[in-house]
Amino acid sequence: METELSVSREDYLKAIIEAESEGHSVVPVLLAQWLNVSPPAVTKAIRRLREDGFVEAKGESSVALTAKGREVAHRTAFRHHLVERMLAEIFGMEWHQIHAEAERLEHVISPEFEHILIAKLGTKGDCPHGNGILPETPAQIKRRGLLALSEAVEGASYTVARLYERDAKLLEFFHKIGIGPGMELRIVERNYDDTLQLDLGKGRVTIGESAANKIWVKPSSPKRKN
């Protein structure tokens, strides 16, 4: 039972830090949706987290991490990052499959095995989806020279730099239509309904604005002429 509580606590704290990075007000209904649990279960968990000093009230219904809670959230996010890199770089697992697997394994990594992974992989570098260790705000991502695909210029070519990884179904969708980290694409046309027509080199696809908001790109380097 204590192990189950510990796993649940880590999931809640990591979800809170991810929600904060996306600019959401961290309210129970959001956590219930993200963690696929009932609102009463969220209310009970938040009460326990407050009693244990991991979160504090922020406004009438939202919560924020305390220093103690942020430390646990950072540690869980770091283990998640290490596991994703391990699955991809050591075991060759596909990028669109590793997030869900890492969500499970991040809770069972011992300190000894964590040190082995650090020695093998290092503490720097992005995960296979192009994301850093800790969640970043849109402003932080833009300071890295990236922009959301939804903001890309019609007719220009870009390289996919990072993908939103919290939504496993969205990752499978990107994989299915041929969009992945490091690939090049061109914005063929912006349609009246806010969809984008993309040239992926091997064909064209159309995606909606909500999906385009979850893809971060950088301008492609001009190809040298022989």
Secondary structure (3-state) at 184: strand
Residue 2 has pLDDT above 70, yes or no: no
Predicted local distance difference test score (pLDDT) of residue 87: 96
Shared-domain flag, residues 107 and 17: yes
pLDDT in tens, 57-74: 887 788 999 999 999 999
- Domain end, chosen from 126, 153, 184, is at 126
- Domain end, chosen from 83, 98, 126, is at 126
d(CA 187, CA 107): 40
Residue 134 inside a domain? The answer is no
Residue 122 inside a domain? The answer is yes
Predicted local distance difference test score (pLDDT) of residue 127: 93
Predicted local distance difference test score (pLDDT) of residue 101: 93
Predicted local distance difference test score (pLDDT) of residue 79: 94
Residue 137 inside a domain? The answer is no
Report the domain count for the chain: 2
Shared-domain flag, residues 214 and 165: yes
Shared-domain flag, residues 78 and 176: no
Shared-domain flag, residues 19 and 107: yes
pLDDT in tens, 162-216: 999 988 899 999 999 999 999 999 999 999 888 999 999 989 999 999 999 999 9
Tokens of residue 158, six digits:
């870009």
pLDDT bucket at 5, cuts 50 / 70 / 90: very low
Tokens of residue 62, six digits:
């939202």
pLDDT in tens, 122-175: 988 899 999 998 888 888 899 989 999 999 999 999 999 999 998 889 999 999
Q: What is the CATH number of the domain that holds 191?
A: 2.30.30.90
Q: What percent of the chain is modeled with pLDDT above 90?
A: 67
Predicted local distance difference test score (pLDDT) of residue 223: 61
Residue 68 inside a domain? The answer is yes
Q: What percent of the chain is modeled with pLDDT above 70?
A: 95
Model pTM?
A: 0.86
Shared-domain flag, residues 4 and 112: yes
Shared-domain flag, residues 14 and 121: yes
Residue 210 CB-density burial (10 A; 0-12 exposed, 13-18 middle, 19+ buried): exposed
What distances in angstroms separate CA 35 from CA 68, 146, 182, 215, one per listed residue? 21, 28, 29, 22
Residue 225 has pLDDT above 60, yes or no: no
Shared-domain flag, residues 16 and 76: yes
Shared-domain flag, residues 68 and 34: yes
Predicted local distance difference test score (pLDDT) of residue 4: 42
Residue 132 inside a domain? The answer is no
Q: What share of the chain is helix, strand, coil (3-state, %, to 5)?
A: 45, 15, 35
Q: What is the CATH number of the domain that holds 115?
A: 1.10.10.10
What DSSP state is assigned to residue 31? Answer: H
Domain around 200: 142-219
